[in-house]
Amino acid sequence: MTSSSLAESGAETTSTQGGTQAVDRAAALLTYVVEADHPVTFAEATEALGLARSTTSRLLAALENNRLLERSAPGEYVGGPLFVLYAARHDRNAELARLAQPTLERIGELTGEDVHLAVANGNQVAHIANVDSTFLLGARDWSDIEIPPHSSALGKVLLAWDAMPRPVGRLETPTSHTLSTRNDLDVDLAQVRNRGYAVTHDELEVGLAGVAAPVFGPDKDVVAAVGVSGPTARLEHRLVELGRLLKNHTEDLSELLRRGRHADLQAGGPERDTA
C-alpha cells in the first residue's frame, strides 16, 4: 500500500470514528431528554453528559430540526413530535391532550378555574387532560368517576353534537336541579347548539357550576369538549362570560386541528384575553 493510500485510509478511519462518536453523543442526549420526567435545560444536558456547550448546541439543533426534540419553553427541551406521532397511532387521546394543553393552560390563566378536556368513551365522559384551579376552593377531580353525561357541561356538549349517544330510559338525577325528562334534555341540548356552549348549575353536585364548549376535528365533527368548573357562588354570575371565552378558544383550537398546524398550537395559538 502506498503512502498516499495509507493516508487516505487513516483519514477515512478518523472520519468514521468521528461520525460514530457524534451519533453516540446525539443518541445519549436524546435518551437523556426523553427519559427525564421534566423539561431538560441546555445547561442540565451539557453538565449531565459532560459535553462542550458548542457540542450540546449543535446536537440539540440537529435533533430539533429532525423533530426528535422540541422546546417546551425557551431553553427547555422535551421529546419531539415524532415521538408523539408514534404514540398517537396507538392512543389518539394522548395526542389530542398534548395539542390542546397550551389552550387549556391559557384558559386557566384567564379564569383561574379548573379546566378540563374530555372526550366520549361509549356512554361516558372521559377526562383526558386538565389544569388545576389557582383558587384554594376548586372543583374536585372527576377523572375516574362515572357521571351522568346530561348532568355535566362537558357531557351536554358531547350529547348536543352527537359525539355520544343520548341516554335511554329514566334519566339519573344526582340533584334536584338535574334535567329529569327527555323533553327537558332535548330543549337544553338545542340551546347548547344554538349558543355554542353548555352550562350546568348545581346539576351534578349542589354548589358546583360548569361551562363547556365543543372542539371540532378535521371532519367538522365534535371530537372533544373543553370546560371550566368551580363553585357555583363564584361562577354563577360569570357563566355567559366564561361561555364566550371558551367558545373563542375552542374555535381557535378547532381551526388549528383542521389545518394540522401543530407548531402554532404548541406556541399557544392566537391569544384571547376577553370573552
Per-residue pLDDT reduced to its tens digit, 147-205: 889 999 999 999 999 999 998 888 999 999 999 999 999 999 999 999 999 999 999 99
125 plus 167 within the same structural domain = yes
131 plus 24 within the same structural domain = no
159 plus 236 within the same structural domain = yes
Residue 187 lies in a domain: yes
Last residue of a domain, which of 84, 114, 139?
84
98 plus 225 within the same structural domain = yes
Angle (deg, nearest 10), helices 42-49 and 53-65: 120
63 plus 44 within the same structural domain = yes
126 plus 220 within the same structural domain = yes
Nearest partner of 250 among 88, 80, 73, 118, judged by Cα: 118
Last residue of a domain, which of 24, 53, 84?
84
Query: For residues 240 and 238, what is the distance between their CA atoms, to the nearest angstrom?
Result: 6
The domain tally of the chain equals 2
Last residue of a domain, which of 84, 102, 126?
84
Q: Write out the residue range of the structural domain in which residue 132 sits.
A: 91-266
Q: Give the count of alpha carbons within 13 A of 1, CB side only.
A: 8
Average pLDDT of span 36-42: 90
Residue 167 lies in a domain: yes
Average pLDDT of span 47-70: 91
pLDDT band at 95 (very low <50, low <70, confident <90, very high): confident
72 plus 40 within the same structural domain = yes
Residue 272 lies in a domain: no
CB 247 within 8 A of CB 272: no
More confident residue, 133 or 245: 245
Q: Which three cell numbers stand for residue 75?
A: 431553553
Residue 41 lies in a domain: yes
Q: Which amino acid is at 107?
A: I
CB 204 within 8 A of CB 237: no
Residue labelled with grid coordinates 395526542: 95
Residue 206 lies in a domain: yes
CATH assignment at residue 69: 1.10.10.10
Residue 273 lies in a domain: no
Query: What kind and span of H or E run contains 16?
Result: helix 3-35
Nearest partner of 182 among 164, 167, 197, 202, judged by Cα: 167
Residue labelled with grid coordinates 336541579: 177
Distances (CA, A) of 218 to 32, 201, 260: 35, 32, 8
Q: What is the pLDDT of residues 213-225, one digit of tens each?
A: 999 988 889 999 9
Q: Which residues of 35-56 are buried (b: 16+ CB within 10 A; e: fewer)?
A: eeeeebebebbbeeeebeeebb
* pTM recorded for the entire structure: 0.63
145 plus 252 within the same structural domain = yes
Residue 255 lies in a domain: yes
Task: Quote the mean pLDDT of the chain.
Answer: 83
Laid out side by side, the sheet with 222-231 consists of 124-131, 114-121, 222-231, 208-216, 198-201
183 plus 252 within the same structural domain = yes
Question: 19-23, 117-121, 214-218, 245-249 — which is least confidently predicted?
Answer: 19-23
Q: Which three cell numbers stand for residue 41?
A: 435545560
Query: For residues 257 and 260, what is the distance between their CA atoms, to the nearest angstrom?
Result: 5
104 plus 197 within the same structural domain = yes
Question: 21-30, 62-71, 253-262 — which is least confidently predicted?
Answer: 253-262
36 plus 157 within the same structural domain = no
138 plus 256 within the same structural domain = yes
Q: What per-residue confidence (pLDDT) applies to 84?
A: 64
